[in-house]
């Protein structure tokens, strides 16, 4: 019998990277089920292509970094490939699969194959059912996300940016006009094929039935809105969150500090908005902000990515507050249509500061008075900026031009008819400024 000498400790926790990734897949499954059920083949197509692109990129990366050591002999190509492939492990498949799913879930159901006009003004009609589909947008984003977002830094565990967020920003910035959230939703849900009126919801020429202000908080919660495939159904995201927390796959500190700071800042912003226009309640305001766009999806699946978040508890809390402050600032004060949603840029901003939060002279593993200071100061500075900006310059929205073209129901109202103009133009204007249904940006 052989006796092996090894260093202590001699037992390990039942745990592994693969287990964590499988848990993430299970945590994503409610969102995936929703996407498959609602968007059907479009979801299958988007997810399959983005996962396939990322897994393939990772496989090529494994072949590149594991080359046969030079021993003076000639090796055939097959031999070289077999040597590289022998270093391919299960985690090389699971990790890019998770990244690919995350990326695929924040794509719209269709990418227009034709140039449909600028982001805010539709030039060409586009029908997702009959017109072509721009695969290259999807694949370009996926490859950029994995290669530039992760592999160039050295693969799993070494990346600075979240691959899914990096890929999304790339695709959106380069091919933004091809993101056609509205059309697809209209076609499938409202049976509207009048794609002349497609485009964004925030501008003049939308069809009344597709107006965001026709959606109640319940609609937002259940996902009965247009939007990017994964982020619309908040119930599915919350189920995923519960599973991930039970399995300790994500750190609750990040999610909690993010959501806490977000609600805190939005509450005070809501107070200001309410004082200017009493028809907008504070709590509906906060509710719409929380349940619209990618806030919950980002808070559950994206900012909690352990590789791109800091390592100690105080740093993680600070990380959540930084991302939340940035998101709120961009959402409320961003003048450009492109940055209205704010979540994805905030994630990348948080990813950028996280190495600084881990700087060895600053990071401590226990909460001290000293490291509580930035956690309090950063949201308070953001709050001061928001209060000042909102107080000085209402209307806070830049899309007032389109706001009067159709009536909207009140923010919290459940509605089926877009012709109810009881809430009046101001409500519309303020709500219109909020990027409820715009997806990530």
Partner 1 sequence: MILKTRAIKDHKLQLGGIPTEKVAVPDFLFLATNNARCAAAEVTIPVGAHVNLGEPIGIRHAAYFDQPIHATASGTFVGLEKHYHRSGKIVDFIKIQNDFKDTLDPSIHDRTDAEIAQLTRADMAEILKEDSLVGLGGSSFPTYVKFQTSRPIKTILLNGIECEPFITADQRLLLEDPADLIAGIKLLQQAFSCRDARICVKAKHRDIFALYAKVLAAYPNSGITIVPVGNFYPQGWEIAMIKSATGISVPVGHLPSEYGIANFNVSTAAGVYLAVKHRMPVYERYVSVCGDGIVSPKNFSVRVGTPVKFLIDRCGGYKNPEIPKVFILGGPMMGASLPSDDCILTKTVTSVIVMNERTYSEEPCIRCGSCVLSCPVGIQPVQIMNAMRQTPVDKDKVKALNPLLCIECGLCTYCCTSMIPLLEYVRRAKIVAKLP
Contacts of 311 (CB under 8 A, 6+ apart): 358, 363
Binding flag, residue 200, partner 1 (CB under 8 A): no
Closest CA to 54 of 177, 181, 155: 155
Of 60, 311, 352, 356, the residue at the interface with partner 1 (CB under 8 A) is: 311
Q: How far is the CB of 100 from partner 1 (least distance, A)?
A: 17
Q: Are 425 and 409 in contact (CB under 8 A)?
A: no
Within residues 157-176, the interface with partner 1 by CB under 8 A covers 157-158
Q: Are 344 and 166 in contact (CB under 8 A)?
A: no
Q: How far is the CB of 413 from partner 1 (least distance, A)?
A: 41
Within residues 328-387, the interface with partner 1 by CB under 8 A covers 358, 360-361, 363-366
Q: How far apart are CA 49 and CA 104, in angstroms?
A: 8
Q: How far is the CB of 91 from partner 1 (least distance, A)?
A: 6
Of 238, 239, 307, 385, the residue at the interface with partner 1 (CB under 8 A) is: 307
The label of the residue with tokens 């247009």 reads 226
Judged by CB under 8 A, the number of residues near partner 1 is: 45
Of 45, 172, 178, 316, the residue at the interface with partner 1 (CB under 8 A) is: 316
Q: How far is the CB of 309 from partner 1 (least distance, A)?
A: 7
Q: How far is the CB of 378 from partner 1 (least distance, A)?
A: 21
Q: Are 437 and 292 in contact (CB under 8 A)?
A: yes
Residue 140 or 256 with smaller CB distance to partner 1: 256
Q: How far apart are CA 215 and CA 184, in angstroms?
A: 17
Q: How far is the CB of 17 from partner 1 (least distance, A)?
A: 4
Residue 17 or 387 with smaller CB distance to partner 1: 17
Q: How far apart are CA 342 and CA 322, in angstroms?
A: 13
Of 43, 182, 236, 250, the residue at the interface with partner 1 (CB under 8 A) is: 250
Within residues 102-121, the interface with partner 1 by CB under 8 A covers none
Closest CA to 302 of 32, 137, 51, 106: 106
Beta bridge partner(s), residue 179: 111
Q: How far apart are CA 160 and CA 151, in angstroms?
A: 10
**Under the rule (CB under 8 A), what is the footprint of partner 1?**
1-17, 19-20, 89, 91, 155-158, 247-251, 306-307, 309-313, 316, 358, 360-361, 363-366
């Amino acid at each position: 019998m052989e006796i092996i000498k090894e260093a202590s400790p001699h037992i390990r926790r039942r745990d592994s990277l693969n287990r964590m990734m499988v848990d993430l897949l299970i945590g994503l499954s409610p969102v995936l089920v929703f996407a498959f059920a609602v968007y059907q083949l479009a979801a299958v197509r988007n997810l399959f292509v983005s996962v396939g692109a990322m897994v393939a990129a990772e496989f090529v990366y494994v072949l590149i970094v594991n080359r046969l050591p030079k021993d003076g002999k000639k090796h055939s190509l097959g031999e070289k490939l077999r040597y590289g492939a022998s270093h391919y492990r299960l985690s090389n498949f699971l990790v890019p699969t998770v990244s690919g799913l995350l990326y695929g879930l924040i794509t719209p159901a269709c990418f227009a194959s034709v140039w449909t006009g600028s982001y805010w003004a539709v030039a060409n009609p586009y029908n997702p059912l009959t017109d072509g589909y721009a695969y290259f947008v999807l694949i370009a984003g996926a490859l950029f996300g994995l290669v530039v977002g992760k592999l160039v830094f050295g693969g799993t565990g070494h990346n600075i940016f979240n691959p899914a967020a990096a890929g999304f920003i790339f695709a959106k910035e380069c091919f933004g006009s091809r993101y056609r959230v509205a059309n697809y939703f209209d076609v499938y849900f409202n049976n509207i094929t009048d794609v002349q009126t497609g485009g964004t919801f925030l501008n003049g020429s939308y069809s009344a039935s597709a107006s965001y202000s026709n959606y109640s908080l319940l609609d937002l919660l259940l996902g009965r809105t247009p939007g990017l495939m994964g982020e619309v159904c908040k119930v599915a995201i919350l189920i995923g969150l519960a599973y991930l927390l039970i399995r300790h796959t994500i750190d609750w500190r990040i999610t909690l500090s993010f959501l806490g700071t977000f609600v805190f800042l939005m509450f005070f912003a809501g107070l200001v908005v309410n004082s200017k226009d009493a028809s907008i309640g504070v709590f509906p305001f906060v509710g719409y902000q929380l349940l619209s766009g990618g806030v919950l999806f980002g808070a559950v699946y994206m900012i909690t990515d352990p590789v791109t978040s800091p390592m100690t508890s105080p740093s993680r809390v600070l990380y959540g507050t930084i991302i939340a402050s940035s998101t709120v600032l961009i959402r409320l004060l961003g003048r450009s249509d492109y940055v209205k949603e704010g979540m994805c840029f905030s994630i990348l901003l948080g990813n950028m500061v996280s190495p600084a939060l881990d700087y060895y002279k600053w990071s401590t593993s226990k909460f001290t008075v000293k490291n509580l200071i930035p956690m309090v100061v950063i949201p308070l500075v953001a709050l001061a900026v928001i209060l000042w900006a909102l107080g000085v310059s209402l209307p806070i929205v830049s899309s007032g031009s389109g706001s009067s073209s159709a009536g909207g129901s009140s923010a919290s109202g459940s509605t089926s008819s877009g012709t109810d103009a009881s809430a009046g133009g101001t409500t519309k204007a303020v709500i219109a400024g909020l990027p409820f249904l715009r997806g990530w940006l």
